[in-house]
Amino acid sequence: MTAKPNRAEVGASQSSELVQGTLEMLILKTLALEPMHAYGVGLRIDQISRGIFRVNAGSLLPALSRMERAGRVKSEWRATENNRRAKYYLLTTKGREALTSETERWQRQTSAVARILNASLEALGKA
C-alpha cells in the first residue's frame, strides 16, 4: 500500500503544471489585493491556493519583469515589515484591465473544460 502524498508534495508537483499565462493572472490578482514585494506575492499565492500553487523565484521574478515592461505593474522601493528595503509591485490601470479580461477568458475556458469533462452520450442524445 502506498502512502498518499500530503498537500505540500502535491502542490509542489502541480505548481510547474500551471496553464501557460495563468501565472501572470494569479500575480495580477494578488497585486489587486495589495501592493507587495515578489517574495510576498509568492507566499500569498501559496496561501490562497492552500499550497497547491507554489511559485519559485525563478518563475516569479521574470514574470514580474515582463509585466513591468508591458505596463501592467509598476515598482517602487519601500521598507518591509522588518525594515529592509524591497522592491514592491503595484497594479497599474493597464494591469487592472488585463486582470478583468484574463479572468473572463479563464472563466470561459474552465467552463468549457468542465462541460467536456461532464459530457455523456445520454446528454448528447446519442444513447
Which pLDDT tens digit goes with each residue over 84-107? 999 999 999 999 999 999 999 999
pLDDT at 110: 94
Q: How far is CA 75 from CA 13, 18, 72, 79, 87, in A?
A: 30, 25, 10, 13, 6
pTM, 2 dp: 0.80
Residue 17: what pLDDT?
60
Query: Is domain 9-117 given the CATH code 1.10.10.10 in the classification?
Result: yes
Rounded CA separation 89/102 (Å): 19
- Specify the higher pLDDT residue, 9 or 38: 38
